[in-house]
Amino acid sequence: MVTADQQLRKIQLKRISHVYYTHASSSIAKQKEFLADFGLFECSSPAPSDDKTYYRGYGIDPWVYCLSAGDENKFGGAGFVVESLDDLEYAAKTLPDATSIYELKDSPGGGKGLTFKDPVDGFPMHLVWGQEERKADSDEELSFPRTDFNFVSLSVLSNCCVTSLLYLPHTYYWPAPVHKLGHYGMVVTDFAKTYEFYQSRFNLIASDLLHTPTGHNVTAFNRIDRGPTDLVDHHTFFFFEGPASHVHHASFETHDFDTQVLGHDWLRHKGYEICWGVGRHIMGSQIFDYWFDPSKFILEHYVDGDLMNNKVPTNVGEASLDDLAVWGPDLPETFLT
């Protein structure tokens, strides 16, 4: 163990990888149907079980969502890929309530992992290393169109005689395929303690840090520091202060705006409950579309989010409901509860 007089170094994260959700056994069939309609792909695992099902996107992560059957609905935390085995071993020695390193025998991609608990609210988090990445599917393999936009002052010519044409076949009316897990968010009961822990123990940068009119910080949108050349998502892990800790939502990237809205129509056609969307966020800029799954967890499709390196300074501002969207439907009262 690291002693009190030794300075702790930051554990280096590469990216967010996956989330765990447990649903009541009686609702598993409905949840599987929803996840397929949401655009996730069920994938096989090396040790199949009756109570766990893994889902992937079309990116490099071997899986992005683990569905477990249990007695009650419960969020099981998010998993992050660390830079090295040394980071994983160091995490096992220094993070609160960390397990020993275990083999990921039953999950696609294998590798090694550990689980620790948030020191303030006790929710689980997971670190992994050594997973076998998959070959990402190409736009052509998924029949994604490559589209250009014709602006008022700029037209994109095609074949030297006509501006860009977009024809989407009727068979394109389908779920919006998920590319990757982009971020997730938690409600925490003590923002200051939570913020200090994650900023001191991991290579995270606050892209946006929001406070009350009295100056009390209440919200942080955190991105992973991958240096001056690598561009990363505006936020990978966000949290805001509230009376009780719980997961807010998990967010998954899809191909483009057309795909997102076609997926929105598919979910609407299937009768699922919309939470909020479609709209454009201010912080992070992404176009959002939030849905309730059958257990009332919120899952989001997003496209066109901001990308940043570690040279972009933290934006500090006052928290306001008016700063959540540039355009879109009115903010529902249930969104921030």
**pLDDT of 304 higher than 90:** yes
**pLDDT of 146 higher than 80:** no
pLDDT-derived band at 163 (thresholds 50, 70, 90) equals very low
**pLDDT of 160 higher than 70:** no
One-character DSSP codes across 94-111? HSTTPPPPEE--SSTT--
Find the length of the chain.
Answer: 337
pLDDT confidence of residue 50: 74
CA distance 35 to 28: 10
CA distance 296 to 247: 11
Q: What is the mean pLDDT of residues 126-151?
A: 86
Question: What value does the mean pLDDT of the chain take?
Answer: 92
φ/ψ of 83, rounded to 5, equals -65, -40
Q: What is the mean pLDDT of residues 256-267?
A: 95
DSSP code of 214?
T
pLDDT confidence of residue 49: 76
Helix/strand/coil for 18: strand
Helix/strand/coil for 39: coil
Query: Does residue 15 or residue 1 have the better pLDDT?
Result: 15
Give percent above pLDDT 70 in the chain: 92
Give the pair of three-digit tokens for residue 48: 């199949």
Which pLDDT tens digit goes with each residue over 178-226?
A: 999 999 999 999 999 999 999 999 999 999 999 999 999 999 999 999 9
**pLDDT of 123 higher than 70:** yes
pLDDT confidence of residue 176: 95
CA distance 117 to 126: 9
pLDDT confidence of residue 112: 98
**pLDDT of 292 higher than 80:** yes
210 contacts 314 by C-beta, under 8 angstroms? no
Helix/strand/coil for 261: helix
294 contacts 38 by C-beta, under 8 angstroms? no
**What count of other Cβ atoms lies within 10 Å of the Cβ of residue 63?**
26
Superfamily of domain 13-133+176-336: 2,3-Dihydroxybiphenyl 1,2-Dioxygenase, domain 1 (3.10.180.10)
pLDDT-derived band at 168 (thresholds 50, 70, 90) equals low
Q: Would strands 217-224 and 246-253 be described as parallel, antiparallel, or unpaired?
A: unpaired
Q: Can you give the residue ranges of every domain in the chain?
A: 13-133+176-336
pTM, to two decimals: 0.93
Give percent above pLDDT 90 in the chain: 83
pLDDT-derived band at 21 (thresholds 50, 70, 90) equals very high
pLDDT confidence of residue 2: 53
**pLDDT of 167 higher than 90:** no
Burial 214-249, CB ≥16 within 10 A → b, else e:
eeebbbbbbbbbbeeeeebbbbbbbbbbbeebebbb
Q: What is the mean pLDDT of residues 138-157?
A: 75
Query: Does residue 254 or residue 148 have the better pLDDT?
Result: 254
pLDDT-derived band at 165 (thresholds 50, 70, 90) equals very low
pLDDT confidence of residue 201: 98
Least confident of 81-85, 141-145, 168-172, 173-177: 168-172
**pLDDT of 155 higher than 60:** yes
pLDDT confidence of residue 162: 52
120: left (phi over 0), alpha (psi -120 to 50) or beta: alpha
Omega within 30 of 0 (cis) for the link into 278: yes
pLDDT confidence of residue 295: 97
Residue type, 68: S
Which pLDDT tens digit goes with each residue over 72-111?
A: 999 999 999 999 999 999 999 999 999 999 999 999 999 9
303 contacts 253 by C-beta, under 8 angstroms? yes
pLDDT-derived band at 169 (thresholds 50, 70, 90) equals low
Q: Would strands 41-43 and 74-82 be described as parallel, antiparallel, or unpaired?
A: unpaired
